[in-house]
Amino acid sequence: MSVSNRQPNKTPVRRKKVHRRFVLMFMACFLGWAGITCWNQFGQLKAKAAEVAEMEAKLEEVRQQNETYKQDIARLSDDEYLEQWIRSQYHYAKPGETVYYKTQE
């Protein structure tokens, strides 16, 4: 038997193929996991963006209400407005005035 008639050992080639398949399977699993994780985080990001938009709308509403309160406070420092407000809310009358109430039929 000569050395040239021997069949070459196929074990290293087979190992390379197994190794390559293992690496490809590992990469496929890793990319699948990364894709699912990104998809879930995208959903969470979308939910948080909607929550932020809702909070900003609520903040704007509170700011408008705050501005209204500031205007009311500023108007309460005016004596004429204060007198008018007290007369309408508490049905006060000046001395000598008669207050009439309108009844509903």
Q: Which token pair is 12?
A: 């290293």
Domain range spanning residue 53?
12-90
Is 40 contained in some domain? yes
Average pLDDT over residues 70-74: 92
Question: What whole-number distance in Å separates Cα of residue 18 and Cα of residue 48?
Answer: 45
Q: How many CB atoms sit inside 10 A of residue 3's CB?
A: 5
Tell me the whole-structure pTM to 2 decimals.
0.52
The mean pLDDT value of the chain amounts to 88
One-letter amino acid for residue 3 of the chain: V
Among 9-18, 53-62, 85-94, which stretch is predicted with the lowest mean pLDDT?
9-18
Number of domains in the chain: 1
Per-residue pLDDT of 3-51, as tens digits, reads 556 655 667 788 888 999 999 999 999 999 999 999 999 999 999 999 9
